[in-house]
A and B are shown apart, each in its own frame.
Chain A
């Protein structure tokens, strides 16, 4: 099978095809044209005189544009090709494809060029779970267009296919019978529009054409794209580093972040980070917040849009199917058929226990960087509702801790923390705790939300009484937490308390998030830092999700031994917060070196193998790349390495960089100080500091 390609336009329209540009999806095969969580083309195959084509090369021109160089025939028969076909595709409200056929012979040639088209209109959830469709398929020839249609009651999705050159259109595709002159060229444009069946008001050039599913004309959108990417890149701070890989990593991150930008229908013209390409091109509370935090020193637009979009959809009622509560911040939003018919709860689904406190954390961090007190005031009601949720709805056991247990037992998530796989939370002996579960990092986020909420209450909302109440609650939480979660014989914090208040006592990376949140007593921080950089947790590249030696440890287990770049970026920030500069530098070095190996695009996770054993980081197989919070990771690592911290109207720079960075400078960091430059020199010998065993050289 050919290598698969992905391309994408802002928002959640994307095409996955083979390297010829063809799409031949089966029910469960994730290729096709997708928009709003629905597959609009599952077949799109180009033939010339009945022959399939072969790719000579494929260029990803931009994240929304690809060019395929093709010749007729398959395998090795194409060497003497008399024809070349260039297929150039841009994604918009569907996609537009230009076909150019070149005849290299000295006599004209008659060709039958055929595009076979079809759609199964599968919901992304159906592609994942191989479910059966309940509606009816149809197709229609209208005004030279081929219209593919799916209807279930009033739910309609259509794919409109049209051509600039006259074509013979039938229910399964388009055929061109053309003569290409000697040494000549023939070309056509094909437009594919994904529609929800609504029509544009009568239009001059095309009557009764559909509006795109986003309600926009595709041409208008496309024109802005190349321009938009350039503008995005130009607005960012510039970076120079003696370690050349850092510059490449930075450029890759910023381009990938641009591709991950997602606009909602209610906030047109603004972008927030979707969680990952291509399957998670939607709003995820947790992922959008973490990515916005990572990117904040470089761009604040993602953060402000994330805050607005999440506030708009903040929970207001009790809904057990969607696990909605008043004040709760959503987990995931979807737009497909199964969501439409309430067979899935994603309209939106609220089943997470961390995005709500993290919403307050992001709002405060955003205000500290930007000085945008207007947004902090506009979102006061939302932030207060989020803070109330922590005490009124998240304390499931009445013991003063945030815990979770799903109320939707069919399609809800069992683990409503970032480690959301079924076996991620376990005792040392491998047993799984019951529910509710109060994982430790949730308490850290809740503590931080109260501290930051208090700062906003005092300085922005002008409510001193509320600030004092929050500070008192935070101090109380911190005191209890450091007593109840502390595993005496291991000198670290338990990953959770179970339903009986007993410690779930395995050693995990979650303790690093506690440093970031500031909930750790100063007297205990040293032990935590030692564990994070110790042989059980630190692989040489980064901190493992679960410590080697725990019963469920597996170096390629999703949340039970792999190293997650995003996790490590927040751990590095946490170490800096408590003054562990050398330790933070070790993580910065390890993850940036891994990023260099992955050519700037960090995977979601890689194997927890000892670095000296494998020499290279072993990528965990994952469907999504780039993933938003992996993309944001190098940005937060740069922040941690340079010790960037807003203080009043100033930006503090306190570098603690690994030696291999040499000189690092970032110019024009935006913020309430307008712009500032940051400089640092790598002085920390992280090789000497890490405990990794030296392998064969």
Chain B
């Protein structure tokens, strides 16, 4: 059976124990991931850069509700979290600021390289020539 991308994401997220991007930030988030038959929980605690992930169900600053396929897409970069929120496939009760903080650690889309081939002046001019 292939590894569960959500468990894998949280394992990698928590592994270093400390993430510089969260220094100065503190918040707790609970992800309630609906997997058809059951709801699975991941509880993220951030304290000035120190991060820990457990499976507890305590109250949190932000409680995020999401279906498993959507969350799998989000933690693998195939769906944008902000877009998911606007679409209504992910909801956040409590602190939006906490969710905004958390999304910093989500990956970009697979296949994004940050690179693009240069375009010559001739090409630009040809595109702009009146028809």
Residues of chain A touching chain B, judged by Cβ–Cβ distance below 8 Å, are 153-156, 196-198, 265-267, 312-313, 316-322, 324-325, 335-336, 339-342, 347-348, 378, 381, 393, 405-407, 409, 422-423, 431-436, 498-499
Contact = CB atoms under 8 A, between A and B. Distances in A.
A197 B88 contact: yes
B97 A434 contact: no
Contacts of B38: none
Given A154-B87, A312-B100, A320-B112, A347 B119 contact: no
A233 to B, nearest CB: 29
9 contacts: A153-B89, A154-B89, A312-B97, A312-B100, A320-B111, A322-B80, A407-B112, A407-B116, A499-B118
Contacts of B77: 317
B83 A156 contact: no
B20 interface: yes
Given A335-B86, A499-B119, 13 more contacts: A155-B86, A155-B88, A156-B88, A196-B88, A198-B91, A316-B104, A319-B80, A321-B112, A339-B86, A342-B83, A405-B118, A433-B124, A499-B118
B124 A325 contact: no
Contacts of A433: 121, 124
A498 B105 CA distance: 35
Contacts of A319: 80, 108-109, 112
B56 interface: no
Nearest to A435: B119
Given A153-B87, A341-B83, A347-B80, A432 B121 contact: yes
B59 to A, nearest CB: 17
Given A154-B89, A434-B120, A325 B80 contact: no
A378 B77 CA distance: 28
B22 to A, nearest CB: 10
B57 interface: no
A340 B87 contact: yes
Contacts of A320: 109, 111-114, 116
B21 interface: yes
Which 8 interchain pairs have the tightest Cβ spacing?
A340-B86, A317-B108, A319-B108, A347-B82, A154-B88, A320-B112, A340-B87, A434-B121
Contacts of B15: none
Contacts of B107: 317
Nearest to A197: B88
A405 B116 contact: yes
B124 A342 contact: no
Contacts of B16: none
A336 B115 CA distance: 28
Contacts of B121: 431-434, 498-499
A349 to B, nearest CB: 11
Nearest to B118: A499
Contacts of A434: 118-124
A422 B125 CA distance: 11
B21 to A, nearest CB: 7
B86 A347 contact: yes
Contacts of A423: 128
Contacts of B79: 342
A378 B86 CA distance: 29
A266 B80 contact: no
B7 to A, nearest CB: 21
Given A155-B87, A435-B118, A348 B123 contact: no
Given A320-B113, A342-B80, A405-B118, A266 B100 contact: yes
Contacts, number: 107
Given A321-B109, A342-B83, A381-B20, A499 B100 contact: no
A347 B83 contact: yes
Nearest to B122: A434
Interface residues of B, number: 39
Interface in B7-54: 20-21, 23-24
Contacts of B125: 431-432
A266 B108 CA distance: 22
A153 B87 CA distance: 8
A316 B21 CA distance: 9
Interface in B64-123: 77, 79-80, 82-83, 86-89, 91, 96-97, 100-101, 104-109, 111-116, 118-123
A316 B105 contact: yes
B4 to A, nearest CB: 22
Nearest to B90: A154
Among A340, A407, A433, which residue has the most Cβ atoms of chain B within 10 A? A340
A313 B112 contact: no
Contact of A406 (B89, B113, B116, B122): B116
Contacts of A422: 128
Contacts of B111: 320
Contacts of B24: 378, 381
A313 B114 contact: no
A324 B100 contact: no
B91 to A, nearest CB: 8
A582 B58 CA distance: 67
A210 B84 CA distance: 21
A348 B85 CA distance: 13
Nearest to A427: B121
B89 to A, nearest CB: 5
A457 B128 CA distance: 46
A122 B131 CA distance: 32
Among B24, B83, B89, B120, which residue has the most Cβ atoms of chain A within 10 A? B83
Contact of A499 (B21, B114, B120): B120
Nearest to B87: A340
Contacts of A339: 83, 86
A436 B86 contact: no
A423 B96 CA distance: 40
A435 B83 CA distance: 30
A340 B123 CA distance: 33
Given A347-B83, A378-B24, A318 B112 contact: yes
A157 to B, nearest CB: 9
Contact of A432 (B96, B97, B118, B128): B128
Contacts of A155: 86-88
Contacts of A341: 83, 87
A123 to B, nearest CB: 11
B124 A432 contact: yes
B118 A436 contact: yes
Contacts of A432: 121, 124-125, 128
A9 to B, nearest CB: 20
A305 B51 CA distance: 27
A317 B74 CA distance: 13
Contacts of A325: 114
A325 B100 CA distance: 17
A405 B119 contact: yes
A381 B23 contact: yes
A325 B125 CA distance: 29
Nearest to B67: A154
A153 B67 CA distance: 14
Contacts of B101: 312
